[in-house]
Chains A and B, each alone.
Chain A
Amino acid sequence: MQEHETNTSGDGASERLKALEPLTSERVRRIAALSRLELSEADVETERVRLAALLGYVERLRAVPIEDVPGTEGDAPGASEDDRPVGPLAPDEPGEVLGVEVLGRMSPDSVGAYFRVPRVLGEGGA
């Protein structure tokens, strides 16, 4: 449902420069849309100021020398476990399932084996 503009193979140097650009209202609206959250125009500015302050604080991460430190690729199965905070994942094997009836009971609106949703066709961005 939620959309991420994920890009794991970006150009690190250009991304770092982009991240240093001021957070704009347009970018905040885009983040809200990607997060599937409504944001009033008044809230856009409030959130822009707060998110900018938080992201500004996060900038101090750049003080840590990390050139020789493996990133997320170091968490791949088989990578060294010496400094991995999270142990290796168990094999992804089928286990117990809750079943359609239970899933339906958890839903705010279901019919038989289906979740009921509003009209989907003809919408953009859903």
Chain B
Amino acid sequence: MSGAFEIASGVRTGAVRAQDAAADALRRAREDIDAGEDGLHAVLQMFEDRAMASAEAIDARVARGEDPGPLAGVPVLVKDNICTGFGRTTCGSRFLERYESPFSATCVERLESAGAVVIGKTNLDEFGMGSSGEHSAFGPTRHPLDRERVPGGSSSGSAAAVGAGIAPVALGSDTGGSVRQPASFCGLVGLKPTYGRVSRWGLVAFASSLDQVGVLSASVRDAALTLSSIAGHDPRDSTSSAHPSEDFTRELAQTLDGIRVGVPKLASASQNHPSVHDAIERTKTALQARGVQIVPIELPSLEQAVPAYYVIAPAEASSNLARFDGVRYGRRAALQPGEGLDVLYKRSRTEGFGEEVRRRIMLGTHVLSSGYYDAYYETAMRVRRVIAREFTGVCAENGVCDAVLMPTTPGPAFRLGEKTTDPLALWLEDVYTTPANLAGLPAISVPAGFTEGTDTGGVRLPIGVQLIGRAFDEARLCRIAHAIEVSAQS
């Protein structure tokens, strides 16, 4: 399968037909759906007629000498917590199993305005809550290289689909690593923009101060190209930044001379898989060979990000998910004669939400309760500010580095079921990804090698490394990531 850049270039020049690209992607998506439990379970629904009509319209525009846009004819999948004004938006939840959004998210509108063809929606951990892809009401997603392993989450279907070559690009959402972690597991690029860079309008809210729409793709160029199309101010999102979009591909070919990359000392490093350590060391060497100065840095509160995140995110989730009450949206439980509104609320929510979502709502309710608020939520918010200060301190214009390099995950993709009975074990998957969300900074995971396969059942599993940059400095982040990508491929 070609990448997004190649498809768009071909469609714009008339060398490739958008209809052929769409038909190929739809066929691969259909194969995944038809395979059922034997497939990846990456794609939840397809928009065959609509996608082919869109592709036909793009080909017609090219034939008339028009430019359909930078993503002309690129088949794209969208995580199913991002609203589309066509088909269903389930959030991977029984609660919204039949929910049809009356509008499309801004990012979907912008994708289509740029010429992309939305071919379907992807599986996910329910409402984005999970790091394995196992918490979807519609069944777990499987890893494209090893069906017995998880693809990561919560953008599990987007990662598995791009990893399997169903589509070159997919949108995900990243609240605590949900784009970067599955990208790392599946050998992809996962880009989480600066908070406010991409409109959240139409992204079903999990934790509003942390959520960002992100991109999963097979290359840095495709991620940068897609971000260029979906970024920019949106008056419908009250947290949208005034920063205009940019051409994030513009710096990819530039040298890295003068770039400084900070590498923090990690207290948890000894618990990481050896391949993660090797990937970081290889990356440091590769960057130095390209003129990058590697700078040891201190981020003393980095590893307090997970506990802070798991107070703040559930707190916001408990508030955001209060709207799912069986009255206004989605599922409504059946009542017995004499049962009233309170039973309706409780039964609809208990039947509609999965175990992980229910637990996070309860945790969030607890930390916001009278008598516990200061001890948990207020403390976590202060720690969040400390973490943000530490990052902005080292990465400021006059700071010691331009970006921070660290692992994306502590290890490679783990086995299905390995962490389902231990929520804390799953939380610790997020140790390196949550800081960027708490600080609101852009971050990208880029492939940097594989496991040796000796302790992963003979399968060589991908390992990603992560770069975290200054706010709104995605172009430079993509430039450094592109160099890592090229080095890892050589």
A34 to B335, CA, bound (A): 20
CB-contacts of B307-343 with A (<8 A):
307-308, 310-311, 318-319, 321-323, 325-332, 335, 339-343
In the assembled complex, which residues on chain A have CB atoms less than 8 Å from the CB atom of B236?
A: 95-96
**Other-chain residue from B307, B363, B440 in contact with A61 (beta carbon distance below 8 A):** B307
Task: State whether B345 touches A34 (Cβ < 8 A).
Answer: no
**Other-chain residue from B100, B311, B342 in contact with A125 (beta carbon distance below 8 A):** B342
**Other-chain residue from B311, B323, B340 in contact with A123 (beta carbon distance below 8 A):** B340
Task: State whether A15 touches B371 (Cβ < 8 A).
Answer: yes
Asked whether A54 and B363 contact (CB < 8 A) given A6-B368, A60-B304, the answer is yes
Task: State whether A108 touches B378 (Cβ < 8 A).
Answer: no
A83 at the interface (CB under 8 A from B): yes
A1 at the interface (CB under 8 A from B): yes
Q: What's the nearest-Cβ distance from chain A to residue B298, in Å? A: 14
Task: State whether A36 touches B325 (Cβ < 8 A).
Answer: yes
Task: State whether A38 touches B347 (Cβ < 8 A).
Answer: yes
CB-contacts of B223-252 with A (<8 A):
235-236, 238-241
Q: What's the nearest-Cβ distance from chain A to residue B324, in Å? A: 9
Shortest Cβ distance from B380 into A: residue: A61
Interface of A is mostly: loop
Interface of B is mostly: helix
Task: State whether B330 touches A108 (Cβ < 8 A).
Answer: yes
What is the 8 Å Cβ interface bit string for chain A, positions 34-71, against chain B (1 contact, 0 not)?
11111100000001001101110111111110100111
Task: State whether A38 touches B346 (Cβ < 8 A).
Answer: yes
Task: State whether B310 touches A66 (Cβ < 8 A).
Answer: no
Asked whether A126 and B238 contact (CB < 8 A) given A35-B361, A64-B301, A85-B209, the answer is no
Shortest Cβ distance from A11 into B: residue: B374
A75 to B312, CA, bound (A): 14
A38 to B440, CA, bound (A): 35
In the assembled complex, which residues on chain B have CB atoms less than 8 Å from the CB atom of A38?
A: 346-347, 350
Task: State whether A47 touches B373 (Cβ < 8 A).
Answer: no
Task: State whether B424 touches A57 (Cβ < 8 A).
Answer: yes
Shortest Cβ distance from A95 into B: residue: B236
Task: State whether A15 touches B342 (Cβ < 8 A).
Answer: no
In the assembled complex, which residues on chain A have CB atoms less than 8 Å from the CB atom of B371?
A: 5, 7, 10, 15, 18
CB-contacts of A63-104 with B (<8 A):
63-64, 66, 69-72, 74-75, 82-87, 89-90, 92, 95-96, 98, 102-103
**Other-chain residue from B238, B378, B423, B427 in contact with A72 (beta carbon distance below 8 A):** B378
Shortest Cβ distance from A86 into B: residue: B209
What is the 8 Å Cβ interface bit string for chain A, positions 104-115, against chain B (1 contact, 0 not)?
011111000001
Task: State whether B235 touches A34 (Cβ < 8 A).
Answer: no
Shortest Cβ distance from B237 into A: residue: A90
In the assembled complex, which residues on chain B have CB atoms less than 8 Å from the CB atom of A58?
A: 307, 310-311, 376, 380
**Other-chain residue from A50, A69, A95 in contact with B382 (beta carbon distance below 8 A):** A69
Asked whether A122 and B388 contact (CB < 8 A) given A51-B363, A71-B378, A87-B241, the answer is no
Asked whether A64 and B330 contact (CB < 8 A) given A32-B362, A98-B102, A105-B102, the answer is no
Asked whether A66 and B345 contact (CB < 8 A) given A58-B310, A120-B340, the answer is no
B17 at the interface (CB under 8 A from A): no
A62 to B375, CA, bound (A): 9
Task: State whether A61 touches B196 (Cβ < 8 A).
Answer: no
Task: State whether A115 touches B365 (Cβ < 8 A).
Answer: no
B385 at the interface (CB under 8 A from A): yes
In the assembled complex, which residues on chain A have CB atoms less than 8 Å from the CB atom of B50?
A: none
B439 at the interface (CB under 8 A from A): yes
Task: State whether A118 touches B344 (Cβ < 8 A).
Answer: yes
In the assembled complex, which residues on chain B have CB atoms less than 8 Å from the CB atom of A39?
A: 350
B358 at the interface (CB under 8 A from A): yes
A18 to B358, CA, bound (A): 24
Asked whether A63 and B392 contact (CB < 8 A) given A18-B372, A36-B346, the answer is no
A27 to B369, CA, bound (A): 11
Task: State whether B385 touches A126 (Cβ < 8 A).
Answer: no
Task: State whether B240 touches A90 (Cβ < 8 A).
Answer: yes
B383 at the interface (CB under 8 A from A): yes
Q: What's the nearest-Cβ distance from chain A to residue B338, in Å? A: 8
Asked whether A1 and B304 contact (CB < 8 A) given A15-B374, A47-B362, A83-B389, the answer is no
A80 to B290, CA, bound (A): 38
Task: State whether A51 touches B424 (Cβ < 8 A).
Answer: no
In the assembled complex, which residues on chain B have CB atoms less than 8 Å from the CB atom of A106?
A: 99-100, 102, 328-329
B349 at the interface (CB under 8 A from A): yes
In the assembled complex, which residues on chain B have CB atoms less than 8 Å from the CB atom of A51?
A: 359, 362-363, 366
13 more A-B contacts (CB under 8 A) besides A15-B371, A34-B365, A61-B380? A4-B318, A7-B371, A36-B345, A36-B346, A37-B350, A38-B347, A62-B379, A64-B386, A85-B385, A86-B239, A87-B440, A89-B239, A120-B341
Residues of A within 8 A of B (CB): 1-2, 4-8, 10-12, 15-16, 18-19, 27-28, 31-32, 34-39, 47, 50-51, 53-55, 57-64, 66, 69-72, 74-75, 82-87, 89-90, 92, 95-96, 98, 102-103, 105-109, 115, 117-120, 122-126
Q: What are 26 of the A-B contact pairs (CB < 8 Å)?
A: A2-B319, A2-B365, A10-B373, A16-B374, A36-B325, A36-B346, A54-B423, A55-B366, A57-B310, A58-B307, A58-B380, A61-B307, A61-B311, A64-B386, A72-B381, A84-B388, A85-B384, A86-B196, A92-B238, A106-B102, A106-B328, A107-B328, A118-B341, A120-B341, A123-B340, A123-B342
